[in-house]
Structure 1
Amino acid sequence: MRKILLQYIDSFSGLSKEVWWLALITLINRAGAMVIPFLSLYLTDDLDFSLEQVGWIMTSYGLGSFTGAWLGGKLSDQIGYYKVILTSLMLTGVSFLAIQYFSSFWSICIGFFILIAIADMARPAFFVALSAYSKPENKTRSLTFIRLAINLGFSAGPALGGLIITSIGYNGLFWVDGITCIIAGFVMIQTLNPKKAKEQDKEIVVKNPIKPYKDGIYIIFLIALALFGFIFVQYFSTLPLYYKEIHKLSEEKIGLLLALNGALIFFFEMPLIAYLEKSRFSKIGNVINGFIYTGISFALLLVTPWAGILVVGMIIATLGEMVAFPFGNAFALDRAKKGRQGAYMGLYSMSFSAAHIFGHNSGMQFINQYGYNNTWIFMTCIAVLGTFLLYIVKQKITKEKSTD
């Protein structure tokens, strides 16, 4: 047991203090993001919107995320990641405080579009900052560490949010969200000010940068990642419905099953990534493996009606997430050295925003039209297609390296 604990602690070694501060800022920010998990309840229970109206508001949310990712990438290259992240944190805090006073349908649609656009401006900027603060050999573990902070924040946020709703009401969520964003901004001013923080990677600036949309290998990679996001978001939209309607699980059991995802990531992702970094698999090879695991998790749902397969499927899907996301992020950062990092990482973030815009709604519509089993067959086929595209990327990279 002591050996396992030491190996777990060792997986965090070598990370710069700036990465630790970035993780703390992320944790504060994500722990405060309590409105989002309760957004549909707030819109239906507190504001009395119909489900159709909620659907359009969620579409506005997704479009705001897409716009913010694009804008954040552009601004990161023009004014620098530090200013983008700090501006995003402060303005997001003010926006959360303001939007609680909006009540009409159109004001909510426009308000959440602007709020999420401002909030998600920081996403590509965080990637660029992480690249700057990490030595090249530590990038994948640094990315994994930030993911750990995000998962901790998302785990704590809903629990605290539930307490706030019962004791204060929904308005309390907006106040806490707004204040925590502003606190995260002040922590950044004190710890990551360019005059204080030390950049670890000096390979960021390149001559004659390539525009990301002209990088054919990167575009194919992003299409594959968007497909991965498309099927992965089903675990937080269509699959909970499947658990309840087909397997008759209670909300409590569904919550525990979803919590298993976060627990596995917390305990195993850092050691797993530290191990895989030393393995013979390339970054893109690990992304391929992660995609395959996630595809298998959907195929398993077709094999047996046994409820235990849901746990097995969640474990395999989480393994796919733990392998695909960190190495996918790392591959994108490596590729971004060919051009402007902000534009590259903005496009990377946009691929996942697109998955959120289309994935949830498409999954719901597919279930409504063709049923659950046909939906899982469709998702498995998407996984096969995405894996094939990643294999093409791998072959092109091998050819590219041989001609360099």
Structure 2
Amino acid sequence: MFKFDLLKTSKDSKARLGKITTNHGEIETPIFMPVGTRATVKTMTPDELKGIGAQIILSNTYHLFLRPGTEIIEKAGGLHKFMNWDKPILTDSGGFQVFSLSDNRKITEEGVHFRSHIDGSKMFISPEKSIDIQNILGSDIIMAFDECAPYPASHEYIDHSMRRTLRWAQRCKDYHKNVDNQTLFGIIQGGMYKDLREISAKEMVDMDFKGYSIGGLSVGEPIDLMTEILDYTTDFMPENKPRYLMGVGSPDYLFEAVERGVDMADCVLPTRIARNGTVLTHQGRIPIKNAVYKEDFSRLDDECDCYTCRNFSKAYLRHLFNVDEILGMRLATIHNLYFLIDMMENIRESIRGDYFLEYKRDFYKKYGYKQD
């Protein structure tokens, strides 16, 4: 089961309010999805994720294929049961991770030959193999296998890569049979070239997927270039289907994405920087291990109502990190995810109330982001 309802479009931007319905529940959009790469959002339990308002999480096909392997997850009854998460799950195709193994992989029309980053064993993933793995995982939303081109790259290289992604997308769609329980998204590529983005978007839309991902952005390019290409690309995407921008998780990127009509986004950023001692606040990022917080007994963020902010001070969190206590990573992760999930709830409310750009301006002013 899959349904997308477009409930409202902002009067002053492309920002959209929507609802996705899956077999494992509803998702209000625009949404930020925490990443649980190896069937866990690092340091968080499923109940804690629900407690901070997570509606859907993302897991990684490549990593789960290698460990614990599809046989284990299949015996467990699928990924939902294996990790005890009863809400929606989205899985990526594994393409990004495979293509990041630049020294240990070979691309052919059939698929990608590569060596495991764990033990060096020879592996192979094709469009069909990626679909097979995701079928066994049992995620609600799955991705077509795509070629993730590097940045920067020549027009000729991106053109060749993008057209292969289109051919692979058609193979994924032809092969995917579990249509009642899993929804397949196509991935629009094309690098930083508008003509290639247009071709990719139009041909992907012609294949009639139930949703569309935008890949190949937020890969090292300046934010102004990212927003320009994103704005151009969404013009070619259907209004009645969800749009997922892959790999975006900082507050400014999320605001810019929503303003340009994106419904879904994910990133490891909030959890990764949390484990390294950086917390997101309404006044900007705080490197909590800094000595300036040694005797700061105020809460992390006066505007945040998460468990961490209600109960602990900056000084205590700094202490936990400086003595390498695991609780520090947990408390920072709880806060960062709550911060973004709450921010997205406020964004949805601002679209509903027709004051999205006003909310964005106020947020940027407090956070310290540059205004247009």
User: TM-score under structure 1 normalisation?
Assistant: 0.28
Give the structure with the higher percent strand. 2
Give the structure with the higher percent helix. 1
* Structure possessing the higher relative contact order (Cα contacts under 8 Å, 6 or more residues apart): 1
